[in-house]
Amino acid sequence: LKGREFHRASRIPSEFSEEELVAMKEALKGAIQIPTVSFSHEESNFTALAEFGEYIHKVFPTVFNTSFIQHEVVGNYSHLFTIQGSEPRLQPYMLMAHFDVVPAHEEDWEVAPFSGLERDGFIHGRGTLDNKNSVMAILQALELLLTRNYKPRRSFFITLGHDEEVSGTNGAQKMSALLQARGVQLAFIVDECGFILDGFIPNLQKPFAMISISEKGAIDLMLQVNMTPGHSSAPPKETSIGILSAALSRLEQTPMPNMFKSGMLKTMLQQLASEFSFPTNIVLRNLWLFEPLVSRVLERNDVTNALIRTTTALTMYNAGVKVNVIPPVAKATVNIRIHPAQTVVEVLELIKNIVADDRVQFHVLRAFDPLPISPIDDQALGYQMLHQTIQSVFPEVNIVTPGTCIGNTDSRHYTNLTTGIYLFNPVYLQPQDFRSIHGINEKISVQGYQTQVKFIFELIQNSDTDRKPVPHLHEL
């Protein structure tokens, strides 16, 4: 869409006063200070979730006092905004984010995780990347547009989930059901997970934007072994702990099949080929020949490995009641993330074959298939709107590529409303930032956050187009 942007006569420039820029970062700091932690399905900080609702009322008064915006609280804490456009013939779209966060072990952090402290140009704290930055940037961009008398042509929804980190069943799932009951169909959805990736690929100097167009599936699988308890002074040859440990070890030592051939990473690397110098450019241009070599290299890194195969992470283990009692039961939970080219049924079959022990019982606690792949062609409005906005807000980024989300987002609850689900946070991400998500020392640069607000400010206006995206000539 280079040089062919959709301009409206009354387009509002994304220029903000010094006062507005300061208010933006202060609003994010305040949001970080509310410890909206999701521990488990049963356990969340409900007081903080309620406080967060009051907080957004306070900092975004115009959003809550505009006649064409309807606000509803769903599932007690999630927020659904319906922004009525002036042209009902234009199919609505949706911006999503979540404001619950994973716990933070305060002692490990350089800066207290719920302080929202600004230091050296960064705002520190849990949720600065995942995903209060998006919650606040969406509302902030809308607030700024409204104070400039903006009225959208295309209707849109904003959904802010309160339980994404524990599956989204009370928030996103209920909001989706509500919208479906109202007969809503969406042109596209934008949610978290893609980024502008910087430094993820050795020898690639340039950052590139990755818009995830699919998301891995998942299985939470409990493995259980029951044995007759007894006195530890005369132990049997095998105990429940030994049998289960051997099964888990086989799982860990046997990687799932390499799906590089049928994944998005292959497309991404082919698209990036010309950015590399000799000989990598030749290798990537000729994957028909070098595929085995490249996929072996990708297996060595945990992130790229997660992009080319289904992964099995042993995350919980429980066994034994007393030191001198043969344990009656041993249980372990495995968190499996399914590559988009596979299904729950296929993966369960593979797992059972690897374990190959009838004494091990399998209990599927939760399972869902990978998300369907969203379109990226010239008519795919969501992808093209993001592409266009990336080009205008990040002119230094000249590669936009489709990717896969290796985590799971609330967007999977909305597959009934659209075929266009695009996962993209307009924020630079380096490998150490990636490790900070659910890890320690999560932070966002003040400038990065302000640019995120600008991006959404532009994206909302770009999405007012009534034209079909224009075919373009460059890659993808």
CB atoms within 10 A of CB 233: 7
Of 82, 99, 84, residue with least CA distance to 179: 82
The least CB distance from residue 103 to Zn ion, in Å, is 11
Cα 169 from chain centroid (whole Å) = 16
In sequence order, the 6+-apart residues with CB closer than 8 A to the CB of 366 are: 167, 218, 219, 220
The least CB distance from residue 387 to ligand LD2E54VC, in Å, is 18
Measured distance CA(449)–CA(100) in Å, rounded: 18
For residue 100, indicate whether it is catalytic. Answer: yes
Q: Does the footprint of ligand LD2E54VC cover residue 73 (CB under 6 A)?
A: no
| The one-letter amino acid at 34 | I
Task: Output the CA–CA distances (angstroms, integers) from residue 221 to 248, 313, 350, 354, in the order listed.
Answer: 12, 10, 13, 14
Q: List binders of ligand LD2E54VC among 291-310 (CB under 6 A).
A: 303-304
| Cα angle: 206, vertex 460, 183; to 5 degrees | 120
Q: List binders of ligand LD2E54VC among 154-173 (CB under 6 A).
A: 165
Of 307, 270, 313, residue with least CA distance to 404: 307
Q: Binding residues for Zn ion, per CB under 5 A?
A: 130-131, 192
Q: Binder to ligand LD2E54VC among 21, 350, 373, 437 (CB under 6 A)?
A: 437
Of 76-84, 345-353, 404-412, 461-469, the segment contacting ligand LD2E54VC by CB under 6 A is 404-412
Q: Does the footprint of ligand LD2E54VC cover residue 409 (CB under 6 A)?
A: yes
In sequence order, the 6+-apart residues with CB closer than 8 A to the CB of 60 are: 27, 139, 140, 142, 143
- Residue 361: is it exposed, middle or buried by C-beta count within 10 angstroms (0-12/13-18/19+)? exposed
Of these partners, ligand LD2E54VC, Zn ion, none, which one is at the site of residue 458 (CB under 5 to 8 Å by kind)? none
For residue 164, indicate whether it is catalytic. Answer: yes
The least CB distance from residue 429 to Zn ion, in Å, is 13
Q: Binder to ligand LD2E54VC among 64, 368, 394, 434 (CB under 6 A)?
A: 434
Of these partners, Zn ion, ligand LD2E54VC, none, which one is at the site of residue 197 (CB under 5 to 8 Å by kind)? ligand LD2E54VC
Of these partners, ligand LD2E54VC, Zn ion, none, which one is at the site of residue 368 (CB under 5 to 8 Å by kind)? none
Interface contacts to ligand LD2E54VC, rule CB under 6 A:
130, 165, 192-193, 195, 197, 200-201, 303-304, 406-409, 434, 437
Query: Which residues are catalytically annotated?
Result: 100, 164
